[in-house]
Amino acid sequence: MTDYAPIAGRLSALAEADPQNEVCGFVVAGARGDLEVIPVRNVAGEGGRLFEADPAAHLALSRRLRREGGRIAAVFHSHVDGPARLSAVDLAGAVLGNGPALPGVDQIVAALESGKIKEIRVFAWTGSTFAAVAEL
């Protein structure tokens, strides 16, 4: 399992910088294993309650990783005044058929309370669903 603790501060800062909207993006594991947080635009129509990572940014990142090496290790997003868990809507976007939409990619949820980080949880695919595996 990837240790996301080194990027917890960056995820917190991004979420707290826009506490009225769900922020989102990707965590990339570079060719040498270093982690990089890549925030992308939330294109969901209801940015305060939903998230959808900009598909064009996702495609551009995938192309970059093919050229340079590395992989998407996780998708992250924040919840505005909500718990650090995957909602039914989050799960619907993260699961495709009987498996993850992005195989091998974890899900990270940062929960805000009154504009400040309350908790951050990491979810991994267990073979049938995503389950919490770490708290940052």
Residue 39's domain is classified under what CATH number? 3.40.140.10
Asked if residues 114 and 81 have their Cβ atoms less than 8 Å apart, the reply is yes
d(CA 133, CA 124): 6
Q: Return the pLDDT at 33.
A: 82
Closest by Cα among 12, 21, 17, 14 to 80 = 21
In terms of DSSP H, where are the helices of 18-94? 55-68, 88-94
Q: Return the pLDDT at 50.
A: 87
Domain encompassing residue 24: 5-135
Per-residue DSSP letter, 30 = -
d(CA 66, CA 95): 23
> Cα 11 to the chain's mean position, in Å?
9
Residues of the chain with pLDDT under 50: none
The total number of structural domains that make up the chain: 1
Cα separation of the two ends of the chain: 13
What would you report as the CA-atom Rg of the chain, rounded to the nearest whole angstrom?
Answer: 14
